[in-house]
């Protein structure tokens, strides 16, 4: 497997790194969830008291004693303790998806844009090569499926890094140059 020239940290993203959701505390998310899902049903399904379920949706306050350590906070604590992204991947798989780490973007020189674009194209070509090789006999084995998945995950990671660089304006200087000027 080729390694990307992008630096992807071995740490989990914080909620602040998730621009779709903004900065949302776990109790706020649970409060929103309980507006569309019955807290009573959750209480029954989990075999826990309704008051505990409601406490999960309150901000933790060590002084007044309101709020309670909720499952989301515990999962976050477990992730921080183990620093093992397989936990997140497992949760994502249970929800029908896959975990893709948000990249750390550095402010690369604008000249990096072309090599970064070429890397995405190369990753896509590598994925197609794995797919073509696996499908040559008109069937895909379990091992071949794992290789396809690995290449796909690498392509998504490289592409996400590129998109994040673009979103943060890392290539602004290159975009502002009039067309046809050399570097």
Domain ranges in the chain are 15-94, 110-176
Q: How far apart are CA 140 and CA 126, in angstroms?
A: 17
pLDDT score at 80? 93
Lowest mean pLDDT among 14-28, 32-46, 105-119, 138-152: 14-28
The mean pLDDT of 54-78, rounded to a whole number, is 81
Q: How far apart are CA 3 and CA 1, in angstroms?
A: 6
Residue 24 has pLDDT above 50, yes or no: yes
Angle between helices 113-135 and 142-167 (to 10 degrees): 160
Tokens 């060590």 sit on residue: 62
pLDDT above 90 covers what percent of the chain? 42
Its pTM stands at: 0.51
């Amino acid at each position: 497997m080729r390694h990307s020239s992008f630096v992807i940290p071995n740490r989990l993203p914080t909620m602040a790194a998730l621009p779709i959701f903004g900065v949302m505390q776990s109790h706020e998310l649970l409060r929103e969830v309980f507006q569309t899902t019955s807290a009573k049903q959750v209480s029954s399904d989990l075999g826990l008291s309704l008051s505990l379920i409601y406490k999960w949706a309150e901000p933790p306050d060590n002084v007044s004693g309101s709020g309670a350590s909720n499952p989301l906070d515990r999962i976050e604590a477990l992730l921080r303790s183990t620093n093992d992204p397989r936990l997140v991947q497992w949760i994502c798989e249970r929800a029908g998806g896959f975990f893709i780490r948000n990249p750390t973007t550095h402010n690369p020189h604008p000249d990096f844009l072309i090599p970064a674009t070429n890397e995405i194209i190369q990753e896509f070509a590598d994925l197609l090569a794995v797919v073509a090789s696996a499908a040559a006999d008109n069937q895909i084995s379990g091992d071949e499926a794992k290789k396809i998945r690995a290449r796909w995950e690498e392509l998504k990671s490289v592409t996400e890094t590129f998109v994040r660089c673009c979103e943060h304006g890392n290539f602004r200087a290159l975009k502002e140059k009039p067309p046809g000027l050399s570097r």
